[in-house]
Amino acid sequence: MLEEVSDEQRRREEAEILARDRKRQQEKEEHERRLAEEKAEEDRKQQEAAAARLEEERRRKRQEEEWKRLGSDAIQDLPPVPPPVKEEGTLDMWYLDDETSKPTLTMASLKPGKKVGAPVPTMKMLRELGVVLFRVSMNDFSIVKQILKERDYKHTDEIKVSQTAKDDSYLERWFQEHYMEDEHIRVVMDGSYFVDVRSKQDQWIRLHPKAGDLIVLPAGMYHRATLDEDDYVALFRCFQDAPRFVPINRSDSRADSNRVRLTYLMNLKKGDVATQNGFL
């Protein structure tokens, strides 16, 4: 004879059944969540791998196009790099006035900003800072080939800069005072722009390179760049080691204690930084 189940026992059994059901549901949901997370992680890895393959393919194509233009077969037999341009008046430059010297990018930054009554900087002064100039024919990249080979440059790219081609954040970063840990080259392929470099007295000297000018900037030297009033420049950029633009901003508390910066300052005290860097 079956024993009669009390209401309390029935309620307890029902509660246990509900608890087991909730536990199973939670376990099911946890399992589904883990599966979704694993799938999302796998999708992310696949997307990253696909993006890396695409970037590598683009890099390879850029390199092929670059070597095709530079002439990879001929580069081994090039003569030594010729001396940089030393004649005065070959590069427009001047000291900046107080308004244009300000660190914030404004419309005034795109104007010449010549300091009234200041002496004209000289090519000799630039050499002492480590800045050198070459003239490049747009139909003959032989000087660029020579420098790339002789000074062991590993990476190049091309950029076009204007207020419409680049966003404000790029232009602001470009204008931030910084130095690079590697020597680097800028060839103006078209247009013009401003490059500001620090003098020995820590004053801004504004350079105005135009199409055909090749500027070499030493590692560890504070500088910045901006568009001029013509609002367009196409640059061929060359990097010794870093594959991209990696600035060390002056606002970084560690910038002045960096080994590259200290080496530059030591060379600056010795005299002609360009000569010390191998530009005779």
Return the structure tokens found at 226.
């901006």
Of the candidate ranges 78-82, 127-131, 171-175, the one whose mean pLDDT is the lowest = 78-82
End-to-end CA distance of the chain: 114
Answer yes or no: is 127 within a domain: yes
Q: What pTM did the predictor assign? A: 0.71
Query: Helix/strand/coil (H, E, C) string of the chain?
Result: CCCCCCHHHHHHHHHHHHHHHHHHHHHHHHHHHHHHHHHHHHHHHHHHHHHHHHHHHHHHHHHHHHHHHHCCCCHHHCCCCCCCCCCCCCCCEEEECHHHHCCCCCHHHHCCCECCCCCCCCHHHHHHHCCEEEECECCECHHHHHHHHHCCCCEEEEEEECCCCCCHHHHHHHHCCEECCCCEEEEEEEEEEEEEEECCCCCEEEECCECCEEEEECCCCCEEEEECCCCCEEEEEEECCCCCCCCEECCCCCHHHCHHHHHHHHHHHHCCHHHHCCCC
For the chain, how many structural domains are there in total? 2
Answer yes or no: is 78 within a domain: no
Rounded average pLDDT over 26-51: 88
Answer yes or no: is 260 within a domain: yes
pLDDT classification of 105: cutoffs 50, 70, 90: very high
Same-domain pairing of 108 and 64: no
Same-domain pairing of 103 and 57: no
Same-domain pairing of 206 and 238: yes
Same-domain pairing of 130 and 44: no
CATH code: domain of residue 216: 2.60.120.10
Per-residue pLDDT at 129: 97
Q: Is it the case that residue 74 has pLDDT exceeding 70?
A: no
Same-domain pairing of 16 and 103: no
Answer yes or no: is 76 within a domain: no
Nearest to 162 by CA among 228, 76, 94: 228
Q: Which domain holds residue 175?
A: 92-277
Strand order across the 178-179 sheet: 93-95, 204-207, 193-198, 223-227, 178-179, 248-249
Same-domain pairing of 165 and 30: no
Answer yes or no: is 242 within a domain: yes
Answer yes or no: is 110 within a domain: yes
Is 193:161 a contact under the CB 8 Å cutoff? yes
Same-domain pairing of 61 and 113: no
Per-residue pLDDT at 17: 85
Per-residue pLDDT at 69: 63
Same-domain pairing of 24 and 110: no
pLDDT classification of 274: cutoffs 50, 70, 90: very high
Answer yes or no: is 81 within a domain: no
Same-domain pairing of 120 and 64: no
Q: Is it the case that residue 141 has pLDDT exceeding 50?
A: yes
CA 268 – CA 230 distance, rounded (Å): 34
Same-domain pairing of 46 and 111: no
Same-domain pairing of 124 and 236: yes
Answer yes or no: is 22 within a domain: yes
Cβ contacts of 127 within 8 Å, gap of 6 or more:
84, 86, 272, 273, 274, 275, 279
Same-domain pairing of 147 and 24: no
